[in-house]
Amino acid sequence: MPSLGADMEAGTVLEWHVAPGDTVSRGQVVMLVDTDKAEIETEIWENGVVDEILVPVGRRVPVGTPLLRLRAAGAAATAPAPAAAPPPRPAAPPPAPPPPRAAPPAAPVAAAGAAPPASPHARRLARERGIDLAAVPGSGPHGAVRGSDLERAAGAPPPATAAPAAPAERASPLGAERLATMRSAIANAMARSKREIPHFYLEHDLDVSAAAAWLAAANAARPVTERLLLGVLLLKATALALQRNPELNGHYVDGAFRAGAGIHVGVAIAVRGGGLLAPALLDADRKPLPQLMTELRDLVARARRARLRGAESNAATITVTSLGELGVDKVFGVIQPPQVALVGFGALRERPWAERGLLGVRPVVTATLAADHRVSDGLRGARLLTAIAEALARPEAL
Amino acid sequence: MSAPSDAELRRLLLAALGQVAPEADLAALRPGAVLRDELEIDSIDVLNLAIALHDATGLDIPERDYAELATLERGVAYLRRRLGG
């Protein structure tokens, strides 16, 4: 089970997209994993042939648990287990089949009208399959209904190894349980950040008149599907500024800074109802604006469904947060560990602007930086913010 | 092709909104409610909404007209005008 976020401790495989005998290649999505924050389409980072699935759908396992066994393509199926031996598998026999649904539940019954305790996965399965949760005996703690209970109750074979028909993307509304677990994951990460990271903060007003004028002209000539937003120019300018200031791009792990292998910009995306995700736009400094815009729109749409891919959920080497939409001028952010910096953008506003002895009115955005003082200091931070301003002054080069 | 009815336009707009805000309770949406506040949609969502409407109708909604999509009521009226009702 890979770590799909700094504070992820365990995960549940919701779907296997591969079965024994399938050939897989590096980067292929092989499973859907439920973390506490989102459902992640998770990739495999080796080539080979699936020998055995070690963890069935629905079982929650700690980060680090082997999930499947691979053999090299072409090797005999009976090849001995590779160096990484599979973990001892729990020998617990499957629980006895539950009584038929019609039978009154013998399990403790919650107060009339109240929903029975159930895992988020179970609630979603119940919604999808039209099963009444109250009629399903739960095998979890305090009689909580788990996904596996529903699989049995529905009499459906668990969609384990047989490659399931590609499921239509579930537009799973984010239930209260999902938001509660997401909130607690955010709480852990933010508390850890403020406990461990000595933050320092800088702010800088950016004159965005050149960028805004370039954007208006560019958009007038583009069909709706190719239109850009100022936000994507800000992201690209930040990514380019990081090329020259690598001390702010990377992770602080085991007492040392490790520069990021690429510039993967995490984008803070609000999830309605009070959640927050920050999936990454990979290699944002190297992508042209239209591609970044398309990827950003796709990322936002999928984050709203809490449905992301592994590479984007844990790859961010810095985070950008934009609160300008809500009309606030500045955001002093909390760094997302193990990252070492966070750049914030406030609202685009017309403000008085003095330059060369003249007072004028310009569109202005205030950029802020929260950075980890263990890794960088004010000089480096100041260079980053001024580099962002310079990049925005030449929008045609973005 | 005959002009679509308001009911059809409303369905079309709701379907596009459903793509943008999949978890929102659109059935409970009042016709005059301001979508930006009610559904907590931001500029990227508005752009995605314009693109979803473009995919559904072929209509290219310019940026200056985004304000016409502020509420269900106004959005339906706007689509009616643009689609030749």
Under 8 Å between Cβ of A42 and A33: yes
ipTM: 0.80
Q: What is the DSSP letter of A62?
A: E
- Residues A225-253 have a mean pLDDT of 96
Query: Alpha-carbon torsion A270, A343, B44, A306, what sign?
Result: negative
Put simply, the chain A residues between 191 and 250 with a CB less than 8 A from any chain B CB are 219, 223-225, 227, 229, 231
Residue A148 in domain: no
Is A280 an 8 Å CB contact of chain B? Answer: no
Say if residue A80 is in the same domain as residue A206. no
CA-nearest residue of chain B to A218?
A: B63
Domain that holds residue B41: 7-20+30-82
For residue A110, name the pLDDT band (cuts at 50, 70, 90).
Answer: very low
Residue A342 in domain: yes
Task: Determine the Cα–Cα distance for residues A4 and A38; give it in Å rounded to an integer.
Answer: 10
Instruction: Count up the domains in chain A and report the number.
Output: 2
Residues B63, A225: C-beta atoms closer than 8 Å:
no
| pLDDT recorded at residue A105 | 37
Residue A181 in domain: no
Residues B51, A297: C-beta atoms closer than 8 Å:
yes
Contacts of B47 in chain A (CB under 8 A): 224, 227, 229, 297
A174, A178, A224: which to substitute to probe chain B, counting the most B Cβ within 10 Å? A224
Q: What is the domain-level CATH number for residue A61? A: 2.40.50.100
Residue A169 or B78, more confident: B78
| pLDDT recorded at residue A85 | 36
Q: What is the pTM of this model?
A: 0.70
Is residue A212 predicted with pLDDT exceeding 80? yes
Contacts of A305 in chain B (CB under 8 A): 22-23
Per-residue pLDDT tens over the stretch A265-310: 999 998 877 788 899 999 999 999 999 999 999 998 888 877 888 8
Tokens of B78: 């706007």
Residue A44's contacts (CB-CB under 8 Å, 6 or more residues apart) are: A24, A26, A27, A28, A30, A70
Q: Pick from A75, A92, A109: which residue ends a domain?
A: A92
Q: What is the domain-level CATH number for residue B46? A: 1.10.1200.10
Is residue A358 predicted with pLDDT exceeding 90? yes
Q: What is the DSSP letter of A84?
A: S
CA-nearest residue of chain A to B66?
A: A224
Say if residue A77 is in the same domain as residue A223. no
Residue A76 in domain: yes
Taking the CA of residue A218 and the nearest CA in chain B, the distance in Å comes to 12
Residue A236 in domain: yes
Active-site annotation of A, residues: 373
Tokens of A189: 């990460």
Say if residue A352 is in the same domain as residue A219. yes
Residue A119 in domain: no
Percent of chain A with pLDDT over 70: 74
For residue A177, name the pLDDT band (cuts at 50, 70, 90).
Answer: confident
Q: Which residue has the tokens 């706007």?
A: B78
Say if residue A81 is in the same domain as residue A208. no
Instruction: Count up the domains in chain B and report the number.
Output: 1
Residue A21 in domain: yes
Q: Pick from A92, A118, A135: which residue ends a domain?
A: A92
Say if residue A210 is in the same domain as residue A345. yes
Residue B1 in domain: no
Residue A162 in domain: no
Per-residue pLDDT tens over the stretch A166-176: 333 333 446 77
Q: Pick from A62, A92, A122: which residue ends a domain?
A: A92
Q: What is the domain-level CATH number for residue A260? A: 3.30.559.10
Domain that holds residue A47: 10-92
Per-residue pLDDT tens over the stretch A340-351: 999 999 999 999
Lowest mean pLDDT among A4-8, A259-263, A309-313: A4-8
Q: What is the DSSP letter of A39?
A: E
Backbone angles phi and psi of A6, in degrees to 5: -55, -35
| pLDDT recorded at residue A104 | 36
Is residue A250 predicted with pLDDT exceeding 90? yes
Task: Determine the Cα–Cα distance for residues B33 and B28; give it in Å rounded to an integer.
Answer: 10
Is residue A179 predicted with pLDDT exceeding 90? no
